[in-house]
Amino acid sequence: MQITINNNPVEVLAGETILEAARRTGYAIPSLCYAKGAVHKSSCMVCAVKNTVNGQIIPSCTTYPVEGMQITTDSEDVLLSRTLSLELLLSDHRADCEAPCSMVCPKGLDVEGMLGYYDAGQYDKAYNVIAGAFPLPEISCDTCKAPCEKACRRGTVDKAVSIRTIIKEVTGMGKDGFTLPGNEAQGKKEIQNRDEKENREKEKNMFQSRLGRFTEKEKNRLKEMVSTPSRCLHCACAGRTDCKLRLYATDGHIKRPRYNASSVLPVMNKVHVVGNMWFEQAKCIRCGLCVYNSENGFTFKDRGFGMQVILPEENRTHVSEELAELCPTGALYRSQL
Ligand code: SF4
Ligand code: SF4
Ligand code: SF4
Ligand code: FES
């Protein structure tokens, strides 16, 4: 069967959807609730294309071609429809892509990443993150007014994390607590640190989600639950470098969410699933991939705008870590620590 995509003839293979035929022949179409080879249903509409024969905007991931279809993937109305779909998804997405402390550090220190290693007891790695931002780590923050501590979200719960004290502690340990890199290793580390710094600059120009203010209930829950040595809430999203929602929002020149719906989902609620796998419901866009591809694992609760994806306690053992690969956002992830 033949259809046209952007006025070019395309031969469709048996069983292919429009999205699959288009991608195979070199047309880029974004997708969130679709994953190749996985069970999926249309929900996000970011894969919208237009059939110019009848003027309909359709989800390309679940629509099968019919003879004579004329598909447009990049017209103005198609792009607008995708942008609107993204903006709706982002409207109740209360989360930070990047941690506020890292965003304001004048030296570009990945504060949250460093605190992550500190909390995991990986002090050499924490030291390396600091050394990547400061040529003389031991005196790194001595003349800084510490905007990181002013921006620290923990400060809105009770008291900001003492970031400078922890940096001092880690760099102090560096002298005899672990082996500092030698010359050759140092050279490699400098290249790696330079790349990380460039990446951080790039990240600052990417889409940033908006967490907003904690409710009293959320503050109380966080006060009781967060018991890491640094008391850091680990605001940055684990999916921030490969989250498709963030990448498409950035491609669509969306810097911040435009609409603000009041989400019912509990923020910063990190639930351990199995092994290294974690689930953070507030970052879930309810695409259903984890539901359709786990038997007696994840499931939907309620309907309409308040619909949630949940993992009942007794279902955790039915979920495999590989499921995290399907998640298009940072809602389901494998921790590197
Ligand atoms: S899930 Fe994506 S958009 Fe949401 S906070 Fe994480 S990186 Fe940002
Ligand atoms: S709680 Fe941790 S990640 Fe969040 S702003 Fe404070 S130091 Fe940064
Ligand atoms: S947690 Fe499940 S439903 Fe939510 S975004 Fe990830 S794969 Fe989709
Ligand atoms: S990818 Fe097609 S509707 Fe989500």
Pocket test residue of 18, 39, 61, 84 for ligand 4, highest count of atoms within 8 A of CB: 61
The finding on whether 243 has its CB within 6 A of some atom of ligand 1 is yes
Q: What residue owns the CA closest to ligand 1's atom 3?
A: 246
Q: pLDDT tens digit string along 189-238?
A: 655 666 666 666 677 789 999 898 899 999 999 999 999 999 999 999 99
Alpha-carbon 174 to chain mean position: 32
Percent of the chain at pLDDT > 90 equals 79
The finding on whether 283 has its CB within 6 A of some atom of ligand 1 is yes
Ligand 4 centroid, distance to 267 Cα (angstroms):
25
Q: pLDDT tens digit string along 141-195?
A: 988 999 999 999 999 999 999 999 999 999 998 656 665 555 555 555 655 666 6
Residues in the chain: 337
What confidence score (pLDDT) does residue 197 get? 62
What confidence score (pLDDT) does residue 257 get? 85
What confidence score (pLDDT) does residue 26 get? 97
pLDDT category at 304 given cuts 50, 70, 90 is confident
Q: What residue owns the CA closest to ligand 2's atom 6?
A: 152
What confidence score (pLDDT) does residue 189 get? 60
Closest CA to 49 of 80, 86, 90, 11: 80
What is the 3-class SS of the chain, one letter each residue? Answer: CEEEECCEEEECCCCCCHHHHHHHCCCCCCCCCCCCCCCCCCCCCCCEEEECCCCEEEECCCCCCCCCCEEECCCHHHHHHHHHHHHHHHHCCCCCCCCHHHHHCCCCCCHHHHHHHHHCCCHHHHHHHHHHHCCCHHHCCCCCCCHHHHHCHHHHCCCCCCHHHHHHHHHHHHCCCCCCCCHHHHHHHHHHHHHHHHHHHHHHCCCCCCCCCCCHHHHHHHHHHCCCCCCCCCCCCCCCCCCHHHHHHHHCCCCCCCCCCCCCCCCCCEEEEECCEEEEHHHCCCCCHHHHCCCCCCEEECCHHHCEEECCHHHHHHCCHHHHHHCCCCCEEECCC
Q: What residue owns the CA closest to ligand 3's atom 8?
A: 287
What confidence score (pLDDT) does residue 5 get? 98
pLDDT category at 139 given cuts 50, 70, 90 is confident
Phi, psi of 52 (to 5 degrees): -75, -10
Cβ neighbours for 321, distance < 8 A, ≥ 6 positions apart: 274, 275, 276, 277, 334
What confidence score (pLDDT) does residue 55 get? 97
What's the mean pLDDT in 249-275?
88
What's the mean pLDDT in 96-121?
95
Across the chain, mean pLDDT equals: 91
Residue ranges lining ligand 4, Cβ < 6 Å = 31-34, 42-47, 59, 61
The finding on whether 237 has its CB within 6 A of some atom of ligand 2 is no
What's the mean pLDDT in 21-48?
97
Percent of the chain at pLDDT > 70 equals 92
What b/e readout covers 140-174, taking b as 16+ CB neighbours within 10 angstroms? bbeebebebbebbbbeebeebbbbeebbbbbbeeb
Beta bridge partners of 270: 280
Which residue has 């002090």 as its token pair? 123
Residue ranges lining ligand 3, Cβ < 6 Å = 284-290, 298, 309, 326-329, 331-332
The bound ligand whose nearest atom lies closest to the alpha carbon of 48 is 4
Ligand 2 centroid, distance to 233 Cα (angstroms):
6
Token pair listed for 280: 């953070």
What confidence score (pLDDT) does residue 242 get? 94
Domains by residue range for the chain, with CATH: 2-88 (3.10.20.740), 100-204 (no CATH), 264-334 (3.30.70)
- Return d(Cα 244, Cα 294) in angstroms, integer: 21
Q: How many CA atoms lie within 13 A of 299 on its CB side?
A: 12
- Return d(Cα 270, Cα 281) in angstroms, integer: 8
What's the mean pLDDT in 249-274?
88
Beta-strand relationship, 299-301 and 308-310: antiparallel
The finding on whether 30 has its CB within 6 A of some atom of ligand 1 is no
Is the pLDDT at 45 greater than 90? The verdict is: yes
Q: pLDDT tens digit string along 59-85?
A: 999 999 999 999 999 999 999 999 999
Instruction: Give the highest mean pLDDT range of 13-22, 195-204, 257-266.
Output: 13-22
The bound ligand whose nearest atom lies closest to the alpha carbon of 43 is 4
pLDDT category at 290 given cuts 50, 70, 90 is very high
- Return d(Cα 181, Cα 281) in angstroms, integer: 39
What confidence score (pLDDT) does residue 201 get? 66
Ligand 1 centroid, distance to 287 Cα (angstroms):
14
Ligand 2 atom nearest the C-alpha of 153 is: 5
What's the mean pLDDT in 84-100?
94
